[in-house]
Chains A and B, each alone.
Chain A
Amino acid sequence: MADNIGNPMIRMANSAKKGEVVEVRSLIMNPMTTGLTKDKEGKPIPAHFIQTVSVTFDNAKLLDIDWSTAVSANPYLAFKMRAEKSGTLKMVWKDNQNGVWSAESKLTVS
């Protein structure tokens, strides 16, 4: 699994009008295994999943998400935010095996 993990991406408009609601979409590679399944040799596959996603805008907190193993492999997450000022959106994903990834996207508000 470890050869295909991480690679976080954000897709969003890079400009918006003040007050406009914009959609932020993101994707990251992670197995999101539950710990309840076994491999071909019958050995249990350990739980390995992203537990938290935190979203900030110019370091101010916007959104914190906690996930269980019910979130699908390679989690996709979209949310909407109101564009109030220009700045940098940052997302940080953390999994239960000490993996931490981040991605950023700049937004210009006019």
Chain B
Amino acid sequence: MKKTIQRRQFLGTSLVAGAAVTLAGGTLLRSGAALADNVAGWPAKAFDAKALDQAMAASVGKSNVPVSPKVKLTAPTIAENGGAVPVTIEIDSPMTADDYVSTVWLFVDHNPTPLASQFDLTPALGAAYFQQRIKMAKTDNVRVIAKTNKGELMASAPREVKVTIGGCGG
């Protein structure tokens, strides 16, 4: 936890013209008392489910969803650090008031609790693209399910991320 955020970069920030680094906020609005208490609205049942089908039932509502090429999931084939595996989700959608992706779920099949994240989108967002880093204990599948405002469900092809001992390369 001692990692500093600012890192010296070879490129600086020149790649993104006019990029702004915002250090505002940082305000602790409530005292950080160590009271474990779920944030209101956090879907505890789906997040607490310990098996993939239960987690899917509690979130998506069903566990077999057809794979669609519209749901693109990118993950490394081999994890460099099982504690931080970068995944990118991109869904092909017009994102208009009439036709948009309303919810996206991210699962890791055999994590202690398979549901990793849930994204609730509004059409005002205008795009369905997310990137974040997740934990994986062992070689496993990552998968994404997306739901449109019309209730259509689409799944990504599962992506296998291998967690291995490595060494010996080259």
- Contact between A and B in the complex (any CB pair below 8 Å): yes
Give the B-binding residues of A (Cβ under 8 A).
Answer: 1-2, 4-15, 21, 23, 27, 29, 31, 34, 36, 46-48, 51-52, 57, 60-82, 84, 91, 94-106
Cβ contact within 8 Å between A13 and B16: yes
Name the prevailing secondary structure of the B interface residues: loop
B42 contact set on A, CB distance < 8 A:
51-52, 66
Q: Which of B5, B26, B121, B133 contacts A63 (CB 8 A)?
A: B121
Cβ contact within 8 Å between B127 and A21: yes
Cβ contact within 8 Å between A103 and B26: yes
Do A14 and B120 form a contact, CB below 8 Å, given A4-B1, A71-B134, A80-B127?
A: no
CB distance from A24 to the nearest CB of B (A): 10
Cβ contact within 8 Å between A70 and B116: yes
Count A-B contacts at CB 8 Å. Answer: 193
Cβ contact within 8 Å between B116 and A9: no
Given A72-B84, A95-B39, 9 extra CB contacts under 8 A: A7-B5, A46-B34, A48-B34, A61-B124, A65-B117, A79-B130, A81-B127, A91-B25, A98-B35
Q: Is B11 an interface residue (CB 8 A)?
A: no
A106 contact set on B, CB distance < 8 A:
20
Q: Is B43 an interface residue (CB 8 A)?
A: yes
Closest 10 pairs (CB-CB, A-B): A82-B126, A103-B25, A80-B127, A70-B116, A72-B133, A80-B129, A78-B131, A14-B20, A72-B84, A100-B29
B95 contact set on A, CB distance < 8 A:
82
Q: Is B146 an interface residue (CB 8 A)?
A: no
Cβ contact within 8 Å between B28 and A101: yes
